[in-house]
């Protein structure tokens, strides 16, 4: 289902429009007869559980020279 609503009316019915978007419907907000925005639900993958610190401990390492200055050749290239 597609719903188009003028911005002034959308201000009054925002909660209803959000429910329509969450249900998978297309919701357009217009200024007069010109559509200016599309309201859509956030993909489920973006609303995951928080990350857990230390979950993959030991899987990543940092070289001992990680914070050493890079040689001039790195910046200008080898001729």
Q: How confident is the prediction along the chain (79 residues), in pLDDT tens digits per residue?
A: 899 999 999 999 999 999 999 999 999 999 999 999 999 988 776 657 788 888 888 898 899 999 999 988 888 887 5
Q: According to the model, what pLDDT value does residue 45 have?
A: 66
- Cβ atoms within 10 Å of 4's Cβ, excluding its own: 13
pLDDT score for 47: 57
Length of the chain: 79
Domain ranges of the chain: 1-41
The CATH architecture assigned to 1-41 reads: 3-Layer(aba) Sandwich (3.40)
Give the CA distances from residue 40 to residues 2, 9, 18, 62, 70, in Å, rounded to whole numbers and listed in that order: 11, 18, 8, 41, 46
Q: Is the separation of the CB atoms in 2 and 10 below 8 Å?
A: no
- Residue 14, both tokens: 């925002």
The pLDDT value given to residue 79: 59
Does this model's pTM top 0.75? My answer is no
Three-state secondary-structure class, residue 38 = strand
């Amino acid at each position: 289902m597609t719903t188009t609503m003028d911005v002034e009316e959308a201000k009054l019915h925002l909660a209803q429009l959000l429910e329509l978007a969450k249900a998978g419907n297309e919701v357009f907000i217009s200024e007069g007869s010109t559509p200016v925005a599309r309201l859509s639900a956030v993909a489920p993958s973006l609303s995951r559980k928080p990350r857990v610190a230390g979950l993959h401990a030991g899987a990543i390492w940092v070289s001992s020279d990680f914070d050493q200055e890079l040689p001039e050749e790195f910046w200008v290239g080898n001729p």
